[in-house]
């Protein structure tokens, strides 16, 4: 019987995964109908007609809010093991409750640091959504304004 090393097993899984992907793509291409229309060829933009270019500017506050969200999402990644591992009854009995007190203090310190960060961001005004004031253009067109009435 032939023995396969650990790398051979990984190689077999890679080949199997690629083969599975190729087979499913081929079956999908054979089975699905192909009836392109101009409506199907347009870019999907949340159910709306696409307008303008894709190079639009975004407010920087979108990114700040996203970073704050990621910070608090990462907090949950660290709090979940504390809730599961530090709450084990056998550890509590072995350490006479010291383990539970230590884990609670550590958790409160962690949440406190995050709260201080949130308070700092809030105090700096980064969570306030300021709407930009519309700026009127100073461009003077050579075309009279009543010429645009034909297009309405």
pLDDT of the chain, 152 residues: tens digit per residue: 778 888 999 999 999 999 999 999 999 999 999 888 887 887 776 767 767 776 777 777 778 788 888 888 888 777 777 777 766 777 777 777 677 777 788 888 888 988 898 888 888 877 777 666 777 778 887 888 788 787 76
Digit-coded pLDDT (tens) for 92-109: 777 776 777 777 888 888
Contact 86, 103 (CB under 8 A): yes
65's tokens = 């809010």
Break the chain into its structural domains and give their ranges. 67-123
Residue 101: other Cβ atoms inside 10 A: 12
């Amino acid at each position: 019987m032939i023995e396969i090393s650990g790398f051979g097993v990984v190689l077999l899984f890679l080949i199997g995964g690629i083969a599975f992907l190729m087979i499913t793509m081929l079956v999908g291409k054979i089975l699905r109908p192909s009836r392109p229309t101009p409506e199907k060829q347009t870019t999907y933009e949340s159910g709306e007609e696409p307008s303008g270019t894709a190079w639009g500017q975004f407010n920087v506050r979108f990114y700040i809010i996203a970073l704050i969200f990621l910070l608090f999402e990462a907090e949950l990644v660290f709090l979940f093991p504390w809730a599961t591992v530090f709450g084990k009854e056998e550890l509590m009995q072995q350490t006479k409750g010291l383990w539970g007190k230590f884990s609670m203090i550590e958790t409160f310190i962690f949440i406190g640091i995050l709260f201080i960060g949130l308070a700092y961001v809030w105090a700096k005004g980064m969570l306030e959504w300021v709407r930009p004031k519309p700026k009127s253009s100073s461009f003077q067109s050579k075309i009279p304004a009543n010429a645009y009435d034909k297009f309405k």
